[in-house]
Amino acid sequence: MTFDTLIGHRQQKNILHRALSSQHLAHAYLFEGPDGVGKKMMALAFVRARLCENGTGCETCPACLKVNNDNHPDIHFLTADGAAIKIEQIRALQQELSLRPLEGNGKFCLIDGAEHLTNGAANALLKTLEEPQPGTMIILLTSQPETLLPTIRSRCQRLPFMRLPKQQLANLLVQKLDLGDTEATVLAALSEGSFKKALGPNRELFLEKRHKLIQTLSALSAGSTIPTFTFADELETEKETLFDILDIFQSFYRDLLLLKHNRPLEELVNQDLLEILQHQKHSTTTASLLTKLKALESARFHLQRNVNRRLALEVMLMRITAA
């Protein structure tokens, strides 16, 4: 995939294009932006354009093909080994980068998920990141730039990536997946401008199970103790998709919040559930919606930190129904 075939990110493409044509290339870049919007693709396209024998990223020369097949000897690809990128990996990288390039005009290093660098690894990278061997380029990719060391951030040229506009993603989904307009809009809104999410395995969850989930949730009330616990039980079994389900709940209450404040309908996520939304709109207050959203947020926070899942979900639902 060359620059031109990448979807969206016009500004970012422009910047990299200009850097390439004027040879004003920094030795360290930090690509920051949400997951699954195409940071890695962009980085690969950029590197390919540098390594390409025709200087364009033609995809036909041997160098380009090697990049595409992930076996170019001068590209080093670093990802989390287990939960983190460890200091040993960085040391090995430094060793590699101290050598001359084998085929290309420089060595390239892509660190995907730079937020996974351990403290030691990040510190060990600092000197290399500041003054690498001539011809070396390090590209860090991250979705959470704020969690990186400030000393790392300050050594890189930062290139922020935005979420893809909802409409653009929706149009793409209509084309590629043959979805209806409403479905595509809902899916695009729920995946927050991320290709990965929209095209991922959660399509069925987002499109079909959502109705049922939201109906069950909105049917709960403060008195319905037993259904609440049953529902928590159900949710607990959803190991893989639990966070996406929380996303769905969040989107539902957010829609209500927007409706309460008379925002236009296009801004809503669950546009196909207008009936339930309109119905619920009158029976809730802004304060209770905020409490519910807070409950969801704190449940997510705790679930990410290895608590008793069942308990966390029960507490969450109880707080939601009580609000």
Among 66, 76, 300, 309, binds other proteins (CB under 8 A): 300
Q: Which stretch binds other proteins (CB under 8 A): 58-66, 68-76, 155-163, 173-181?
A: 155-163
Residues 162 and 168: beta-carbon distance below 8 Å: no
Residue 18 binds other proteins (CB under 8 A): yes
Q: Which of 2, 230, 250, 288 is close enough to bind other proteins by CB under 8 A?
A: 250
Q: Is 83 or 287 the residue whose CB approaches other proteins more closely?
A: 287
Supply the angle between the helices 210-219 and 225-237 in degrees, to the nearest 10: 150
Tokens, residue 55: 């200087």
127 touching other proteins, by CB under 8 A? yes
Per the document, the length of the chain is: 323
Binding mask 217-246 for other proteins (x = CB under 8 A): ------xxxx--------------------
Cβ proximity of 247 and 296 under 8 Å: no
- Binding part of the chain for other proteins, among 37-45, 179-187, 282-290, 313-321 by CB under 8 A, reads 282-290
Nearer Cβ to other proteins, position 65 or 281? 281
Taking alpha carbons only, the member of 242, 37, 25, 235 closest to residue 134 is: 25
What is the DSSP track for 155-212? Answer: HSEEEE-PPPPHHHHHHHHHHHH---HHHHHHHHHHTTT-HHHHHSTTHHIIIIIHHH
Is residue 97 involved in binding other proteins (CB under 8 A)?
no
Which of 44, 90, 198, 213 contacts other proteins by CB under 8 A? 90
Q: From CA 27, how far away is CA 134, in angstroms rounded?
A: 8
Distance CA 316, CA 323 (A): 11
**Which residues would be at the binding site for other proteins (CB under 8 A)?**
11, 14-15, 18-19, 22-28, 90-91, 94, 106, 120, 123-128, 130-131, 134-135, 137, 144, 146-147, 150-151, 153-160, 162-163, 192, 223-226, 247, 250, 254, 257-258, 261-263, 267, 286-287, 290, 293-294, 297, 300
